[in-house]
């Protein structure tokens, strides 16, 4: 049972464009929603994260939008660059002692063409 | 910088062999995790440990066991490897508490023939 569903599986964007990746979750007990970025041959690394008390968080060109009622959250990459080409994973976990016990989405392979 | 080191980047084993995957972290983190990464399935949690000698099953523990004898070291064991365990295995650690950030190693790609 996939508790976090991510789409699309792959995404091709031109340099300077906006990349949008969507995730939906089922478990209303989830309390922390991070996005991880993975380059080939490397482990995933935390990119940006949000907690459900806010609807949006922005860090540079990366923005998370969070819709608690719809149980959805998305990653927006503004002014996408070839260096952003990577695999992106959304994730979620419950609070308390479950912090860090992440449930991941299926991943999105982003390719940014120069 | 946090460093999570997985001892083997690439392994090739035969069906039925016992396989050990080792992971060491250098940041005195409380929690350690083993995930499996497969295309189209994302990362799935196999086991995690929140203290020395403590462990909990994740979502896909069947066919795996773990050992945490020291705080910095977390081992994944495949008692009898099977071809469906061919995958990328990722170790991670986290500080615990309200910090949900995981720090991952670079992965161990296991092929079972």
pLDDT per residue as tens digits for the range A21-78: 999 999 998 989 999 999 999 999 999 999 989 999 999 999 999 999 999 999 999 9
Pairing type for strands A108-113 and A10-14 reads parallel
B45/A103 CB distance under 8 A: yes
Q: Which residue has the higher pLDDT, B101 or B11?
A: B11
B45/A105 CB distance under 8 A: no
Residues of A in contact with B105 (CB under 8 A): 43
- Does the pLDDT of residue A80 top 90, yes or no? yes
Q: Which residue has the higher pLDDT, B1 or A11?
A: A11
* CB within 8 Å of chain A, chain B residues 34-93: 35, 39-45, 48, 50, 58-59, 90, 92
* Cα(A85)–Cα(B61) distance, integer angstroms: 32
**Would you tell me how many other CB atoms lie within 10 Å of the CB of residue B11?**
17
Residue B10, strand partner residues: B109
Per the structure block, which two tokens stand in for A102? 């992440």
CA–chain centroid gap for B1, Å, is 20
User: For the segment B10-53, what is each residue's pLDDT rounded down to a tens digit?
Assistant: 999 999 999 999 999 999 999 999 999 999 899 999 999 988 98
Q: Are A97 and A111 in contact (CB under 8 A)?
A: no
A100/B102 CB distance under 8 A: yes
Give the pLDDT score at A98. Answer: 63
Cα–Cα nearest to B103, from A12, A60, A77, A43: A43
A109 in reach of chain B (CB within 8 A): no
């Amino acid at each position: 049972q996939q508790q976090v569903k991510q789409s699309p599986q792959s995404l091709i964007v031109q340099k300077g464009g906006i990349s949008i990746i969507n995730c939906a979750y089922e478990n209303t007990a989830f309390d922390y929603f991070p996005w991880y970025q993975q380059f080939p041959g490397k482990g995933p690394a935390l990119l940006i994260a949000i907690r459900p008390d806010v609807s949006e968080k922005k860090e540079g060109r990366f923005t998370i939008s969070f819709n608690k009622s719809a149980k959805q959250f998305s990653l927006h990459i503004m002014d996408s660059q070839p260096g952003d080409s990577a695999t992106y994973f959304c994730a979620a976990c419950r609070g308390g002692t479950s912090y860090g016990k992440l449930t991941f989405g299926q991943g999105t392979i982003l390719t940014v063409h120069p | 910088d946090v460093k999570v080191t997985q001892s083997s980047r690439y392994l090739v084993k035969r069906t039925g062999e016992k396989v050990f995957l080792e992971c060491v972290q250098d940041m005195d983190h409380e929690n350690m995790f083993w995930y499996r990464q497969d295309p189209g399935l994302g990362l799935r949690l196999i086991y995690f440990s929140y203290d020395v000698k403590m462990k909990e099953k994740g979502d896909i523990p069947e066919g795996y066991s773990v050992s945490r004898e020291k705080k910095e070291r977390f081992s994944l064991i495949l008692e009898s490897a099977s071809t469906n365990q061919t995958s990328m295995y990722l170790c991670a650690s986290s500080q615990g508490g309200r910090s949900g950030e995981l720090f991952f190693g670079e992965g161990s790609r296991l092929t079972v023939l």
